[in-house]
A = this chain, B = another copy of it.
Amino acid sequence: MKTYTVAILGATGAVGQEMRKLLEERNFPVGTLKLLASARSAGKEVMFRGTPVVIEEAREEAFQGVDIVLGAAENEIAMQFAPAIKAAGAVFVDNSSAFRLDPDVPLVVPEVNGEDVQKHKGIIANPNCSTIITLTAVAALNRISPIQTMVASTYQAVSGAGVAGISELHQQVSDLEAGKEAQIKTFAHQIAFNLIPQIGGEQFEGYTSEEMKLQNEGRKILHLPEMQVSCTCVRVPVVRSHSISATMTFQTPVTVEQAKAAIAAAPGCKLVDDLKQNQYPMPLDTSDQDLVWVGRIRPDLTNPGGITLWCCGDQVRKGAATNAVQIAELLIQN
């Protein structure tokens, strides 16, 4: 079997660690694994398939001989190394937002627009986490009739801010329950027992950068340049699954029965929708697995033919690492 040299850029963060786990879990044909991180982490060892792998400092030379780079680093790091990755002839599957809206870069959710992978010129972008989860949930409805508008409110886990976000929530909760003050470092405000209705800086007409991603990235992924999205992004004291409440209108009416049947059959989705039995998607149930759970499907009472639903997915996995590894799987199939 053909094997590939795969590098993870940003291997020590929450997403980078999950990518390593997923390459193993999904039996990706890795010949050699290179784990790249900052100089601070270089020299440490982590296990991959029962064998220790030494973390290397991310430097331009490190990409020589690599076939696929899974990027789990910040925008600046992604932009810094992209030329070296391309020069080395590797394909860069990048989870940062640096290249997502570049017309030369496919932006891919495999269950939604997997065919776009083939158009790549060396870089393929992994979409925003809430965007991946929402689009995986609604793609099947969009196949019934194109989405025209979407009003979405997100409930985003602290894992969106990486390992530091997760520790901060746990530390604050422990301190508060012990009668101590909560220390604030990663988020702008206390997140334990609170909600922070801001993710990202201001970008457009009072919307944050995170809020605009669902419209801007959603248009590109769904090939719907006219889709209009009003999104509100809120950080919630949940560990690692994001949830989204979404209300959509379509070009032609979609019924609840059609929507449920389409979602039940959609790749990457699990229909969990039985209010009488208290069954619906919840962050606790959707964490540490790959499906986007969809439920609470009902008619939009403000627009006949519209649909309202609720979906949850693991932000670190399907919202980031799993989606990137799925893209890599498509790459080696082609």
Q: What are the interface flags for A156-190 relative to B under an 8 Å C-beta threshold, 1 for contact and 0 otherwise?
A: 00000000000001100110010000000000111
Point out which of A170, A196, A283, A301 has the most chain B C-beta atoms below 10 A from its C-beta: A301
Q: Which residue of B lies closest to A208 (CB)?
A: B275
Q: Is the CB of A202 within 8 A of B276?
A: yes
User: Does any Cβ of B come within 8 Å of A22's Cβ?
Assistant: no
- Interface of chain A, helix or strand or loop or mixed? mixed
Q: Given A177-B170, A280-B197, A282-B189 in contact, is the A202-B275 Cβ separation under 8 Å?
A: yes
Chain B nearest Cβ from A273, distance in angstroms: 8
Q: Is the CB of B153 within 8 A of A189?
A: no
Residues of chain B within 8 A (CB-CB) of A194 are 238, 282-284
User: Does any Cβ of B come within 8 Å of A198's Cβ?
Assistant: yes
Total interface residues in chain A, CB < 8 Å = 61
Q: Given A151-B151, A170-B177 in contact, is the A278-B189 Cβ separation under 8 Å?
A: yes
Chain B nearest Cβ from A148, distance in angstroms: 8
- Cα distance, A253 to B201, chains bound together (Å): 27
Chain B nearest Cβ from A228, distance in angstroms: 4
Beyond A198-B278, A202-B275, A234-B245, 10 additional pairs, beta carbon < 8 A = A149-B302, A151-B151, A153-B153, A196-B282, A197-B243, A197-B280, A198-B275, A205-B301, A207-B298, A232-B310
The 6 residue pairs across chains A and B that have the minimum distance between CB atoms: A206-B298, A153-B153, A149-B302, A153-B245, A232-B245, A188-B278
Q: Can you give 13 contacting A-B residue pairs, CB < 8 Å?
A: A169-B193, A193-B238, A194-B284, A197-B296, A198-B275, A205-B301, A206-B275, A206-B296, A229-B301, A232-B245, A234-B245, A234-B310, A237-B237
Residues of A within 8 A of B (CB): 149-151, 153, 155, 169-170, 173-174, 177, 188-190, 193-198, 201-202, 205-208, 215, 228-230, 232, 234, 236-239, 243, 245, 247, 249, 256, 275-276, 278, 280-284, 295-303, 306, 308, 310, 312
